[in-house]
Structure 1
Amino acid sequence: MAHNDPILTPSQLNTLARDLLEDTFPLVLVEGEIGNLSRPASGHMYFTLKDARAQVRCALFKPKSQWLKFAPREGLKVLARGRLTLYEARGDYQLVCDALEEAGEGALRRAFEELKAKLTAEGLFDAERKRTLPTFVRRLAVITSPSGAVIRDIVSVLRRRFPLVEIDLLPVPVQGEGAAAQIRAMLQCADASGRYDAILLARGGGSLEDLWAFNDEALARAIAAAHTPVVSAIGHETDFSLSDFAADLRAPTPSAAAELLVPDAATLSARLQQLHRQLQNTQANGMRQRMQRVDRAFLRLQALRPQARLEALAQRAHQSRGRLEQAMQRRLERERATLRHADAILRATHPQRRLQLLRERLDALRDRPRALLAQRLQREALHLRGLARSLHAISPLATVARGYSILQHDDGRIVRSVDDVAIDEAIDARLHDGQLRLRVEGQDKEPAA
């Protein structure tokens, strides 16, 4: 041993060894069988990875161990990803893991990511090419295993939310050799039939290997090429497959897919009842407005009837005559009072001749109101006769008087066409001197010119 060689402490030696390991092996993938598994209260996980000839100590600390999708156990073959280091306190060489998955899934995961990147680059998963689901799905194809809880859960949710939907189960195997080809063939057959409003691909949870049939490239392309909207519900909420990305809608679970596909019947019924009430209110308001218009039109028609106009004019003439007579009577009374006063004065202060002249004037004045009243009455009578002739000229009664008749229903409506009456219906014929009761025996409508 040379005296000029550096002297190191155990701590310094272990530090140098740790730096060398970490610099040389920044990240490694190690596949082996779990052994000596321990889980202390700290939440960390310690184990060894071994093969037939050797083993290496491993540690998976608490933050990483909480994201595992499986339960590690003794003898399970796994793939660990991590970095090599050295625990200086004891000089133990170990692998500190960042991720841990069951052996076999690593290769599948890499193949999945490569295929996903390829199809994404082609635009197969673009949102622009996805179809919109119909508002109301009347007929639904469910492509899944005929046994198990998945189909029962889907049917239960659909029957509870919207019992009117028709469900066709198209049975296929959902894992194993040949499953992807059978799923693809069933999907293409359902799409080509044109029978369905939507197609649902469904499967329960499982490992990446269990779900691998739904990562088939040909199946993803068939989903993207389908004319019928496709909904994918594969595995649990954290599971993703190429079918999910290619489908028009991805649901986290099969039950959630059933809820997304159909509306809630109770909510829909409440909405329909609200719309029905709004329609009834609109109809009632419209009916009231139309009835008001009919009432106003009836009043106008009543006012325009010749008989009503004649009665109104006669009433006005009678009122005018009464006012004229009252005015003439008041004037006559005033004249008489004046004459009586003058007569009294003349009797007291004038000779007999003056009295005689005043009496002659009195007689003349007495006849004057009567003449004025007679003239006014004569003018009013002439005016009324003119109005009566005008009304008579436009009155339907004048037409009736010339030998025609007016046909009316029992409620007074005028019969204007042969289409207004029915066989054996009783109607009234109004003549100038009375009415006849008639019964319709037949209709003979003249052809149009």
Structure 2
Amino acid sequence: MPAKRPEKGQYTGKAKETNLNFSGLSDDLLLTRQSADTQSHANDVLTVSQLNRQARLLLEKRFALVVVQGEISNLSTPSSGHLYFSLKDENSQVRCAMFRNRAGFLAFRPRNGDKVQLHAKVSLYEGRGDFQLIAETMEEQGRGALMRAYEALKFKLKEEGLFDRSRKKPLPPIPDVIGLITSPTGAAIRDMLIVLKRRFPLAEVVLYPTVVQGSEAPDAIARAIELAHIHGKSDLLIIGRGGGSLEDLWAFNDERVARAIAASFIPTVSAVGHETDTTIADYVADFRAPTPSAAAEQVSPDLQQWLLWLDQAEVTLFRQTERLLQNSQQQLDHLEHRYQRCYNDLQQQNQQLNRFEQRLINGIHNRLNREQQQLTTLANQLRHPKTELQQQKRQLEQLSQRLNKSIESQQKQQQQHLDQLLHRLQQSCPAQAISRLQEQLHSNQQALKRTWQYQLKAKTQKLAELSHRLQTVSPLATLTRGYAIVEDDSGHIVRHYQGVNEGDVVTAQLAEGVLHCKVIGTMADK
């Protein structure tokens, strides 16, 4: 806050510390002096105390609250809590006092050499007749003002959410192009180029030169960030400079630079000053590095380490592929063995069906032969009816009339018996039996064929089901459901948590890819 311009006739604070200069006071003071001269001539003499009191009252009455800037010197901080010091500039100094009830509200600890601004009352210490200022408030100038501006901007941007972790973008693990926004002549650019060339010479480095200090630096840095986006080639941007004072680094505490970094869709790394320096750019950027060299170290992968990792990955991939091929070959041999066994079972069943068919045909032939023999036997046992009638006639003649009535009845019975025999003879005809047996044979053949086809289809379905079940319990199918096969560094499968110790390195085989993990602890199932 600028000092209040002194009114006409007001004291400007340029008097020497040990001298009192009342020239320039108002006409009232001159009248008072003339009155004192008159009284002196009248032998009305003032004491020193009276003179000092009147001067103090006159100063306090005629001067309002003034604003004075200067440098603290001769600072004294007694146990009473009051502050006593001198405020000086290039030409003059003035004694000052700040009482305990005001000093207790200071936001900083005054020291000799601090540039401050006072709101003070003009007064005079009667005991020594010293002209002095009674300070009501004291504010830092220079670094203190910068720090207040820094805290105000930091609070403002934080409230807007520019510091939130949710908006931070991840850095690419292997950047192809690294953009540097810094001074082309500073030590920071040389340090970063040396680190990038040592660690990852494959990356292309694009410099967007800018001034990093002074009043033109904020706009220049913001334009460099905009140019990097127009160029659209960089995978990440390192924004920074080497160490310096707060004033030297102030461009990176500017709101224009902070908003340019926040608006960047390219991941940004802030590398300003030394490790102890913290700027607004550090809070807004996606990543903060303590120094420019550390920024180059952290954004660039170690080429030698990557080559070593690729060699190890190649060996691991070869081993895993070889192991997978061996397991697949074993599974194929097992399936081939099971297929051969199923094929042999089908051959045996086919042979068994052929035997059943042959036994059925032999049984039919044997049945036909037995029926033919039985028919022949029945034909031999059957006598001709004429012979029977002649015999009956002879019996009738012998029995004479006594049997005449019974002959008729007997004839009927014999006729019925004859009809029955004829009917049985017709039923026992070989042609009809052969026809029925042929139909039964055809039916049995059809049933046998259907049974064989049904069993073949059932066996085929069962084979497909067993193949599906075999594929289901395959370790590879298990891996696709989110599981992993964990092996120790010797290649043995880990089945129990006691098989590994804290710090061991294990390998987790996934459905796609391999994870190399380090055991940080073990725990039994709850």
TM range (shorter): 0.3 to 0.5
* Structure with larger RCO (C-alpha < 8 A, sep 6+): 1
TM-score between both structures, scaled by the size of structure 2: 0.40
Larger radius of gyration between Structure 1 and Structure 2: 2
TM-score, structure 1 length as denominator?
0.46
